[in-house]
Structure 1
Amino acid sequence: MSRPVSTYRLQLTPDFGFAQVAEIAGYLRDLGVSHVYLSPVLQAVPGSRHGYDVTDHSRIREEFGGTKGFREMAQRLAAYDLGIVLDLVPNHMNTENELFRAVLRDGPASPYARWFDIEWDGGKVALPVLGDDTEPVVDGDVLRYHEHEFPHPGHYRLVDWREGPGYRRFFDVSTLIGLRAEDPEVLFGTHEVIFWLLDEGLVDGLRIDHPDGLADPRGYLEALRARSGGVWTVVEKILIGAERLPRDWACDGTTGYEALNRVNGLFVDPEGKAPLVELFTRLTGEPEDYRAVMTRAKHEVIDLFFGPEVRRLARAVSCTPAAAAELLAAMPVYRAYVVPGEPPPRESVEIVEQAAATCSPAVRPLVQQALYGSPEAIIRFQQACGPVMAKGVEDTALYRWFPLSCLNEVGGEPDLFGLSAEEFHEFCAGMPPHSMTTLSTHDTKRSEDVRARLAVLSEMPEEWAEAVSRWSAEVSFDRHLDYLAWQNLMAAWPISAERFTGYLLKAAREAKTAISWMRPDPGYEQRLRAFAEAAVRLDVGRFTERIDAHAMSNSLGAKLVQLMMPGVPDVYQGNETTDFSLVDPDNRRPVSFPREPATEWDSAKLLVTSQALRLRRRLEPAAPYTPLHAEGDAAEHVIAFARGARPHAVAVATRLPVRLARRGWGATTLALPAGHWRDLLAGGLHTGRIPLAHLLGTYPVALLERHDL
């Protein structure tokens, strides 16, 4: 078993399975990664493009090559000194599975009834599938309703699809039923394949999907660590602001969204906030206060999606559904980390109390129950917070409030413009040494290079406003959507009308201001398509070309910082070269290998990525992090640090390149640690104090390795 030094995330699909992964082993080895990080590998819904809808935990997915294909892939990767990290989904599975069918047939007496988090109502579970006046048809021992099939007779009742299910689900997705991973039988039953892969030494690491949905994340992680032998494990935990992962969670860290948002902030100019917020509010009519938009969005999604969850919580804590909804909407994080039977952590008490302070007195009984109440009350409150945050913030508010949409990322706060080098250094000082870091994932709202372009706008808001004014004079559609459209059209350029339309349709449905997934409007959607087709014909590319030198600087800087900062860096498929993808499914499109540079930007990014990954393999696993500080008038334009006890590596990146271009580096210098340093990007040797104009004369970044003569 080897601890990952770096990972490369691959999205498995029926078209890209284990055999295709094996074919690129040599390419990934040469790139410099230590481990291949795979999307879920267990049997899922046929044709699934993501694999988070598992239907059978006892089998490796046949569409990918099954057990035989997995072994062959693992052997091939091992021959190239590459390990495997697996993505696990312990919180839920698809309802189209044999175990749940047995529960529907046999009811609470089924041996599998304990597997699922079901609320039995008179011995029956509500299934939200009815959508019209069509009558279900009995066909032997099967009840059919459109494409749905259920055992007949059974322990269920069919209800309107808007009503919600009689079981805990993943967010608002009723086809994904919550598992009770806190039950040892369920944990081992759903992890049996994973455990034998670990036992055989075929897997070196685990990524845990959505731990906030679990009744007891801490207990789950403790059991997993005990059974896995302490394998490297990270959790998909979204941390907001100063929030940190609980120290008593038995894992190595998160999947890196908090690192992503810090790195992103380094390249955003805080001076751009006022003019960009003014532009946004003038064009959209939205208020200046993002927090008000966020709170309103959370209340809306509670009303739209989470009636069953709120009612179940209200019953558990003996309060009104209105009071439960009010406190859930006020919660600023995805979980409060309270464990039944234990005194709540001080931080948890502060979070819940501060949220309650913004609410009516009716929530006070719920506060006590959420912090000190029964296990049912505490757990139900914990499990309800995450879905409200995810749907209210990620999938609603971030599509309504977007003065600079590179800030509208998972775990991001779009009203916080910019991060200083000092703040970044402070963050790195507190980073768990083996936590994952990332810039792009299968769930990010836009790729790292799209964000790199958008960050430039914070340095030139007036020119951007003029460009938007010109385009809007030629084509306009919906004031709540147009400004988001212009940002992403420019930043993803060139983009086809089809891809752009797909993005705008999703954005409009998530925003829920004109249409939604539940409330389609064919006329609106037709006009949206016409807008997208007209917009891509405008000369938006001229503006993109004008800023791309600065965007390239941001892109290379963010990449180098993420790859060299503390933690285990992940590279999302294809992002070793430029990638201008938008939100899924756009960012899950097939990627061709090997990546062949087509532009100067591609070549530079591939060079930075490969050299940094290879250098990371030469560094000690948890190399100390030492901030370096430039001196001179342009010192704010650099972020620099060393890695290693006796520093072995130095990373230097340019910040805020537009303002830098106006003033130049001048006499600004950086003092390197003692010794001689080899430049892995531009070549040459450096020592002592060096002018940044010289160090960054070839590339806007520098990667140096100690070179003892």
Structure 2
Amino acid sequence: MNIPASTYRVQLSSAFPFKALKKIVAYLDEMNISTIYASPVFQARKGSSHGYDVTNPLKINKEIGTLEELQEISEDLRYRGMSWLQDIVPNHMAYDSSNTWLCDVLENGSASPYYEFFDINWKDQKTGERVMAPFLGEALEDVVQKGELTIRYDKDTFNFYYFDNRYPVSIKSYPQIISIIQSIIEKRLSRHNRTYNHLEDIAKGIENTSSNVSNWQQYKVELHQLFEQDEELRDSVITATEIISSSRELLLELLSHQHFQLLYSKNTEKEINYRRFFTINDLICLKMEETEVFDTYHQLIKKLCHNELFNGLRIDHIDGLFDPETYLNRLRKLVGPKQYIIIEKILGWEEALPDLWPIQGTSGYGFLALVNQLYTDINGEQKFTNAYQSINPGKESYEKLVYNKKLFILKERMAGELSNLYDLMLQLGFLKPSQKREVWAEALASFIAAFPVYRIYPKTFPLSSRQIDIIEEAYETALTGQPSLRKELDYIRNIFYGNSDQPVASALCFLQRCQQYTGPLAAKGVEDTIFYIYNRLISHNEVGDSPRHFGIVPTTFHKRMIQREKHAPLSINATATHDTKRGEDARMRINTLSEIPDEWFAKVNEWRHLNNSFKSKPGIPDYNEEYFIYQTLIGALPQTEVSKESFEQRTKDYIRKVLREAKVHTNWSEPDEAYEEAVFNFISSILESQGFMASFKPFSRKTAFWGAIHSLGQCLIKTTAPGIPDIYQGTELWDLSYVDPDNRRPVDYDLRVQILRETKENENNPRYFHKLLENMSDGRIKMFTLFRALRERRLNQKVFDFGEYLPLEITGRLKDHVISYARRLHTDWYIVIIPKCIATFCNDLSIPVGVSIWHDTSIMIPKEAPRSLTNIFTGGQLDINAKLYMHEGLSKFPVAMLKGSNDS
């Protein structure tokens, strides 16, 4: 298996295509990156900035480049001993006119070979065997009245147009359109001409061909050839489309015969007859559990894996699939044992991956959470909780907030999905039409919203004890919230356990179907709602992490790393991704606040009084939002000179998203722009206020300094702990970005190449070393740390892939401010030393090195460890005995990676 030594995530798009990627391969190689980790490369919607809106999985996205360019990059990687990890999207595709499979369905209905590819309920009685197309800005009648919906003939096909949206006319409707064209020709010429008769033959041919797509296509070709050859026909076709477009009756009558139903976009908040990605109408899900769908979708993926252009796969949104285990087994069989496979998966705090899945691990959100919690001072929790309650008084507990917001999303944004699950209960015989729909829907909603994890993975009954525990926890939460529904909740629980009066297969089908929605519900209710409301310490409002937790002690971290080394040693170690809510170094800055709660909340109160006059409208922003803004600035305010206007605009764009995701005073569907503008004015005012900035900047300099030291430790842990280190594009330097699209801005690689060159040229230059420490704000010190650590990782990869993880005991006055561990394989050793929670003893912003800082603090060294070690950052040699004093390990640099061997 081609196991990466390290990965580098790139977001490919028209702004950063293969040509641009090719230019930085040498740089990545010099940085000691082993593997390019690419966002989806398959044909996507025009202008896609991320690639997850795939329209054709059998082609390379032409906006990114060509297959030949990918092959050239692959050859270069192979020459350098590098590899390629590819992100793929099996759960969904774009609901878009460039999606040829879907358009074939819309045109040919049940005759289409792709009719069963998409997760559509064709038996929905409300739509009459038509898939909903919920993309109108208002009701269909109003759209037609305004003349915004038209019909045109282009590219040999009749299409409905709604602005840039195109929907192919059903082939069975062609005779109706042809009859209108014939009537025009008859008026202009007569019905006794060759064109009229030819059209008659085409119309009859289509009507008499029963569900034969190839014959239908032949008639379409004949019509188009006639159109190209006959000027009179061209004029008549144009006139016919103009007549239909201008006639309300004709348009609506023609629409009633299509395989799709045009609707107002907000209709999907109450009803929907296809599965979508989260609550995004224009991402339609696939029935990947069907063998034909799997085989067809993965044709190019299989080819590129077998040709070794892809050396590994990352599976997006595994929790969206009906049967993830079967999918992964099929995938492993398809691509072979050598492919490195990871999945995008959000795990609960005590949750583990199923043992039988044929994968190497996850894409790293759990690791991010652990490091984030490690750098939060658990001793500050109570003070933060008390102070935050005064900022946001009278609010429910975090656990209850989670439950209620998930219920809100389910009822107000995903009520259509809830209705479909209720209908499935009817279809499977679990309920009768005579039973009260509202009561049972409420019970089902309460149960689903109460799931404490994204989902479970039932394959058969009886369920595992872990699965039963999760269902039982959901049941108890739902019952607490809805005690009057005990009878209904008991019944649903029995279905989930397979103890109903219906066939076991029906119960399993229903449970698996429910599990396809518990994940999206958690994502929308928690990540995209609560993470913008519950603001106690927003560094933990992060994908994979949870604001429920407030720090862990080193022993907990060590325990988790030992488990990781045993069960998932090849998982990705991520600290920033395209989905994270803020930059990895911004989180470290915000985490430092946990170390100084008294000083922090004193400052918050001071700023609140200073800035009260800048609120153009009383209470806007509210105190909770204002508190969020101050934390945001702590994390994101640059310490070097940058464009003030650029930072201010980026911050406003981010806060707009924050306010709308929170759904308290404004939202995406019905934005309160006046409220938002008042918040933006507040932000502009405080950034321009001399009084506020005179107080904020000195405090910000301290948190930025402490955060930088913590960030270096984060880099070193990521590189040396069990797992594969991942660098998100551009984060070799400080990453203070906001959530997407801010974290997908162009990366200045010329600057990074220049800094790397300086780093290598000054390998043994003590002046450059001191320059790094004296000018930490430019980020060079972060690249230096990564470069040296990644080099060791690449040179001695087996130590980190398969070596033992050994926690090391700390003694001395500052023992609680150090984390240290060893990685050992046979005779090769690495010892890692990292400070944490340094604010209390580095208040003068001095680098935490030397005896004056660390005094008697020491690390107990195992007797079997080498007695001579080399510091990979400073080059210094250390001769040690039973203990290593911190001031020896951290004599010049704030983190240490010491290597040695027992080989004689």
- Which TM class, normalised by the smaller chain length? over 0.9
**Kept in 1: contact 2:452–2:473 (CA 8 A):** no
Q: Matches of residues 668-679 of structure 1 in structure 2 within 5 Å?
A: 668-672=857-861, 673-679=865-871
| CA-CA distance at 1:704 after TM superposition | 1.0
Q: Aligned with 2:539: secondary structure?
A: helix
Q: Does 1:134 align with 2:143?
A: yes
Q: Does 1:296 align with 2:404?
A: yes
Code of the residue aligned with 2:671 in structure 1: it is: P
| CA-CA distance at 1:111 after TM superposition | 1.2
Question: What is the aligned partner in structure 2 of residue 322 from structure 1?
Answer: 442
Q: Does 1:544 align with 2:688?
A: no
Q: Does 1:271 align with 2:379?
A: yes
| CA-CA distance at 1:131 after TM superposition | 2.7
Q: Does 1:478 align with 2:630?
A: no
Question: What is the aligned partner in structure 2 of residue 640 from structure 1?
Answer: 820
Q: Matches of residues 346-425 of structure 1 in structure 2 within 5 Å?
A: 346-360=465-479, 361=486, 362-372=488-498, 374=506, 375-425=508-558
| CA-CA distance at 1:675 after TM superposition | 2.6
Code of the residue aligned with 1:334 in structure 2: it is: Y
Distance of 1:568 and 1:546 partners within structure 2: 32
Distance of 1:285 and 1:514 partners within structure 2: 17
Question: What is the aligned partner in structure 2 of residue 600 from structure 1?
Answer: 776
Q: Matches of residues 454-603 of structure 1 in structure 2 within 5 Å?
A: 454-473=590-609, 474=611, 475-476=614-615, 477-479=620-622, 480-494=624-638, 496-538=647-689, 539=693, 540-594=696-750, 595=752, 599-601=775-777, 602-603=779-780
Deviation beyond 6 Å, 4+ runs, structure 1: none
Q: Does 1:334 align with 2:454?
A: yes
Distance of 2:395 and 2:387 partners within structure 1: 11
Question: What is the aligned partner in structure 2 of residue 246 from structure 1?
Answer: 354
Q: Aligned with 2:521: secondary structure?
A: helix
Distance of 1:466 and 1:14 partners within structure 2: 47
Question: What is the aligned partner in structure 2 of residue 692 from structure 1?
Answer: 886
Distance of 1:604 and 1:453 partners within structure 2: 16
Alpha-carbon displacement from aligned partner over 1:367-397 (angstroms, at most 9, x marks no partner):
2223425243022111010111000000001
Question: What is the aligned partner in structure 2 of residue 701 from structure 1?
Answer: 895
**Kept in 1: contact 2:457–2:512 (CA 8 A):** no
Computed over aligned residues only, the root mean square deviation of the Cα atoms, in angstroms, reads 1.8
Code of the residue aligned with 1:332 in structure 2: it is: P
Q: Which moved more, 1:274-283 or 1:322-331?
A: 274-283
- Out of 345, 360, 363, which is 2:464 matched to? 345
**Kept in 1: contact 2:368–2:544 (CA 8 A):** no
Q: Does 1:619 align with 2:778?
A: no
Alpha-carbon displacement from aligned partner over 1:639-689 (angstroms, at most 9, x marks no partner):
111112234211111011113437942211113333311001122112232
Question: What is the aligned partner in structure 1 of residue 265 from structure 2?
Answer: 161
Distance of 1:69 and 1:324 partners within structure 2: 51
| CA-CA distance at 1:315 after TM superposition | 2.0
Structure number with greater Rg is: 2
Code of the residue aligned with 1:364 in structure 2: it is: D
Question: What is the aligned partner in structure 1 of residue 231 from structure 2?
Answer: none
**Kept in 1: contact 2:316–2:343 (CA 8 A):** yes
**Kept in 2: contact 1:22–1:77 (CA 8 A):** no
| CA-CA distance at 1:469 after TM superposition | 2.2
Distance of 2:275 and 2:497 partners within structure 1: 21
**Kept in 1: contact 2:411–2:418 (CA 8 A):** no
Code of the residue aligned with 2:106 in structure 1: it is: L
Q: Aligned with 1:162: secondary structure?
A: helix
Q: Which moved more, 1:268-277 or 1:663-672?
A: 663-672
Q: Matches of residues 52-131 of structure 1 in structure 2 within 5 Å?
A: 52-96=52-96, 97-120=99-122, 121=124, 122-131=128-137
**Kept in 2: contact 1:233–1:253 (CA 8 A):** yes
Code of the residue aligned with 2:596 in structure 1: it is: M
**Kept in 2: contact 1:642–1:649 (CA 8 A):** yes
Question: What is the aligned partner in structure 2 of residue 196 from structure 1?
Answer: 303
| CA-CA distance at 1:329 after TM superposition | 1.2
Q: In 2 relative to 1, CA 168–371 (structure 1 residues): closer, same or farther, beyond 3 Å? A: farther
Distance of 1:27 and 1:286 partners within structure 2: 53
- Out of 277, 290, 293, which is 1:186 matched to? 293
Code of the residue aligned with 1:584 in structure 2: it is: D
**Kept in 2: contact 1:489–1:536 (CA 8 A):** no
Question: What is the aligned partner in structure 2 of residue 227 from structure 1?
Answer: 334
TM-score, with normalisation over the residues of structure 1? 0.97
Q: Aligned with 1:207: secondary structure?
A: strand
Q: Does 1:147 align with 2:182?
A: no
| CA-CA distance at 1:129 after TM superposition | 2.1
Distance of 1:484 and 1:193 partners within structure 2: 45
Distance of 2:687 and 2:888 partners within structure 1: 40
| CA-CA distance at 1:157 after TM superposition | 1.5
Code of the residue aligned with 2:165 in structure 1: it is: H
Q: Does 1:451 align with 2:645?
A: no
**Kept in 2: contact 1:280–1:483 (CA 8 A):** no
Distance of 1:456 and 1:169 partners within structure 2: 40
Q: Aligned with 1:648: secondary structure?
A: strand
Q: In 2 relative to 1, CA 190–536 (structure 1 residues): closer, same or farther, beyond 3 Å? A: farther
| CA-CA distance at 1:257 after TM superposition | 0.7
**Kept in 2: contact 1:442–1:588 (CA 8 A):** yes
Distance of 2:590 and 2:634 partners within structure 1: 8
Question: What is the aligned partner in structure 1 of residue 208 from structure 2?
Answer: none
Distance of 2:733 and 2:598 partners within structure 1: 30
Code of the residue aligned with 2:698 in structure 1: it is: R
Code of the residue aligned with 1:287 in structure 2: it is: K
Q: Which moved more, 1:282-291 or 1:225-234?
A: 282-291
User: Which of the pair is proportionally richer in helix?
Assistant: 2
Identical-pair percentage: 34
**Kept in 1: contact 2:12–2:38 (CA 8 A):** yes
Alpha-carbon displacement from aligned partner over 1:310-337 (angstroms, at most 9, x marks no partner):
1111222346221111011111111111
Distance of 2:394 and 2:520 partners within structure 1: 24
Q: Which moved more, 1:541-550 or 1:330-339?
A: 541-550
Q: Aligned with 2:731: secondary structure?
A: coil
Alpha-carbon displacement from aligned partner over 1:35-61 (angstroms, at most 9, x marks no partner):
010110001111111110001111011
Distance of 2:463 and 2:285 partners within structure 1: 25
Code of the residue aligned with 2:2 in structure 1: it is: S
Q: Aligned with 1:642: secondary structure?
A: strand
Q: Which moved more, 1:629-638 or 1:596-605?
A: 596-605
Ranges in structure 1 where 5+ consecutive residues have no aligned partner: none
Q: In 2 relative to 1, CA 193–286 (structure 1 residues): closer, same or farther, beyond 3 Å? A: farther
Ranges in structure 2 where 5+ consecutive residues have no aligned partner: 171-257, 432-439, 480-485, 499-503, 639-643, 756-771, 844-851
Q: Aligned with 1:639: secondary structure?
A: strand
TM-score, with normalisation over the residues of structure 2? 0.76
Q: Which moved more, 1:206-215 or 1:574-583?
A: 574-583
**Kept in 2: contact 1:490–1:541 (CA 8 A):** no
